[in-house]
Amino acid sequence: MGSVFITGASRGIGKSIFEAFAKDGYTVYGTSTTCEGVAVIEKIIDNCGCEGAGLKLNITQDDVDETIKTFLKDMNPPSILVNNAGVTDDALLLRMKDFQWDRVIDTNLKGAFLVTKSLLRSMLKEKHGRIIFITSVVAELGNFGQGNYSASKAGIEGLSKSLAREVSSRDITVNCVAPGFIETEMTKVLPDDVKLRMAENIPMKKFGKPEDVANAVRFLASEQAGYITGTVLNVNGGMLMS
The answer to whether the CB of 235 falls within 8 A of the CB of 207 is no
Helix (H, G, I), strand (E, B) or coil at 136: coil
Amino acid occupying residue 220: L
Is 149 a known active-site residue? yes
CA dihedral 242, 20, 199, 234 (to 10 degrees): -10
Which candidate in 26, 29, 149, 227 is catalytic? Answer: 149
Active site residues: 149
